[in-house]
Structures are given as C-alpha cells and as structure tokens.
Structure 1
Amino acid sequence: MKPNEYFYQGFRSMLPVTTGAIPFGAVVGTMCAEAKLTFAQAITMDHLLYAGAAQLASVELMSQKAAALVVVASGLIINLRFLLYSAAMSPLLQNSRTITKVACAYLVTDQSYAAMSAHQDKLKTPADSIQFYFGTAVCMLIAWHASLMAGYAFGNFAPTTWALDYAVPLSFLALVLPTLKNRNYIAVALFSSVVSVLLYQLPYKLGLIVTALLAIGFGAFLTRKKDPR
C-alpha cells in the first residue's frame, strides 16, 4: 500500500460523517454572530478551542455575560471526554515524535476518534492507525471551520423545519452501528444508551463523562466474566 493511502482512506471515510458536523458548525457560527463576536474573534476561538459542544456552551455563556472563569470551567468540563480518547490512543503514539502527539491531541474530535476505532481491525500497525486518524481529522477540520465561517457570514441559512440538530446524533449512530460485532458490544451500547438518558439532566454536561466511565466499567466487567483469570 502507498505511504499515504491510509491517510486518504481516513479522509474518504469521514466525508459522509461531515454531513452531520456541517450543520452543527453552521449553528455555532450563527450563534457567534448573534453574540456580537467579531469575525476575527469567532475564528480565533474556533481555532484555539476547536470543540463544537464547548464552543456552543461558551458562546451561550458569553452572550449571557457570564464570568470568564465560568466560561472556561464549563468548556473544560464538557471536554473531559477527550481524556478518555487520549488514554485510548496513547498506545498508538508511544514511539511517535512530540509534534505528532501534539497534532493528534489538537485534532481529536468525537467523529475522528470514532471513525478510527471503527476501522481499527483493518489497520495493521500503529503507524497505519495514526495515518488513518490524521485523514479523518483533517477532513473534519476543513468541514468544521468552513461551516462555522459560513454560519457566521450567512446566519440562519436553513429553515427550522429542517431539524438540523438531529444530524449530529445520527452521524454518530452511523459510526457506532458497524462496531457492534458481538453481544458484549451490543450490551455496552444498550447500557450506555439507557444510562445517558437517565443522567442527561446532570449539570455542566457531566452526564456524558459519567456515562462513558460507567460504560467502560461495565464493558470490563463483561470481559472478565467471559474470560475469568
């Protein structure tokens, strides 16, 4: 296989997923404009933060004149899930250069990590996985920045009857379904779905990180139950 083939595979695999991220990015861009951020401020925040849910919450808090500490703390709490992604990716990066690790950390998104995980059984070496990951991440980076800028420039470009807010969860559903290859995976997925609904009302978006931790524990329990030592 050509040196950059896994990168291109990752890029192509992410193209359908961007249909869910693009409306979300446009909504964030629109909210930046409505919050009276300048175009330069919106783009600077987009490049420095680069985390859709945290950006959305931050803009909403800024529009409400919340204290800077509250804005920063909320963004950090919402992004706690990236600690889990980083921990899962760390074995692939043990022999990588520092610049590669920094780039992976900056570019990580829910979609890029999920896409790499879904294709992990087809990636033979850590280098293949990282190339594939960079392909997915670059595709998402371009789509996100472009859609946010378009949303800022053109505002509410689509009628509310389109219900674009459903595009993001549907794109994640499309990524998750192919990974449900055995009973344990299905059980963990169902467990996560139920727990996430029950914990949805937790403040500061903590329901997501708590659900993820509980799902990891449940998955470990099922694995040990199947193969006790």
Structure 2
Amino acid sequence: MPQPHSRSRPAWSHRSLEIDKIRTWTVPGALGFGDPAYLGDRYESIALYGGKASDSQISPVAEGTMSPDSNTTNNPNIALTTVTYANGASYAHLGALMKIWQVDSDSLKWNVSGGEKYRIQIWAHQATVIIGDCDTGVSDRILDDGRAISDHINECAATARNHGKFVSCVTRFTKDSLRAGMITAQEESAIDRCASQALALRTKSSTLISSQRGLADE
C-alpha cells in the first residue's frame, strides 16, 4: 500500500522523546467493486514503519499478521476499525463509497530525538490467489480496472454452472488481462493451471487468500 509519507518534528529540541501511539488510515476498497468483506481478505500482514527523514531506509515499529474472515491481527497492540461519520457516509471516491480503515498502533515505545524530522509509512503484504487448494503464487493485487484478481475469479465461481464453465470463464479473464498488460504470461499460466485443477469452488474468504512472501506496494 504504502500510505503517503507523513513527516513530523517532535517538539522540545534536543530532548529524547518516546512515542507511544500512532494513528494512520487506509482505503483498501476497489473502485467498481467496493470493499473486501474483511481486511484480512485483502492483506496477509500489516506493518508501521518509521525512521528519521534523512534515513535511506526505515524499520518496522509495529507489525502483525492477518487471517481471512478477520479484522484483527496477531498483535494486540494494533487495532483496526472502520471510520464512520455523523451522516453514516464512508470515503467518497468518484461517486463510489468505500470504507476508510483506521489503524491504531499502540504501546510503541519508539524513542525519537527532539528537533529531528521523522517519516512513517504503512505497508501491507498482499495475499496470493488460491483456487481450491492450489496456490497460484500470483499476488492478489488491484488491476487497472479497479478490481482485484480474486474478485474476477470469484465472479467466475459465482456464475459458473459447472467446473468446465468456471475454467472457461477464468481463462477468458486471464487472456484478456494478459492482452491488456495487467498480468504476465507466467501469471496467466499459473492461474489457468490452478483453475483447471480445482475440484471444488469455494467462497473467497476460505479459498482465495494465502501468504505472499514479498512486500507489495499498492
């Protein structure tokens, strides 16, 4: 994901300070599809990075892993909640309403120096697409059409009357996506292979989420 850089200058120059809590926000929904049912359906883990503005690299100060069908992490000091407003509206983007998620990282005990500029970022590991019990190894990222790869595959699963129709729907999607430059030939092959091997179609929450090893920039 990462969120745009946030810079802050702790007050009281030359004093050593301890930051206990940082609040950030993210919008994981996709235009044209909407919000994931759970934040864990979109991300495998989430982390808050922080460091001096002059540092070439910054390190995690809080991180936690997530699971499908969940809006929590394994870190009790990270709280994930949806933002609501007086009129009940969510984040408005080009006429679509999508949820804003508030990420509270608590009990940080992050020591900083007064008078220094610091920057923070929120990063998330995206899940990989799994069809049945077959892990494609393909990052479940948002494509140029505003929908995640798993959204398209779930649509095929929801509308297909049998396995053959499901495979045809998936291969049509991957072929179109390859032609549009949204996926690679290797990713097309991996998705098609898993679709053909799937003996049962399950729901997104129990099927299409898995751990991704690389850090995903959304």
Please say whether Structure 1 and Structure 2 have the same fold, judged by a TM-score greater than 0.5: no
Structure number with the higher helix fraction is 1
Q: What TM-score do the two structures reach when normalised by structure 1? A: 0.27
Q: Answer 1 or 2: higher relative contact order, Cα 8 Å, separation at least 6.
A: 1
Which structure has the larger Rg? 2
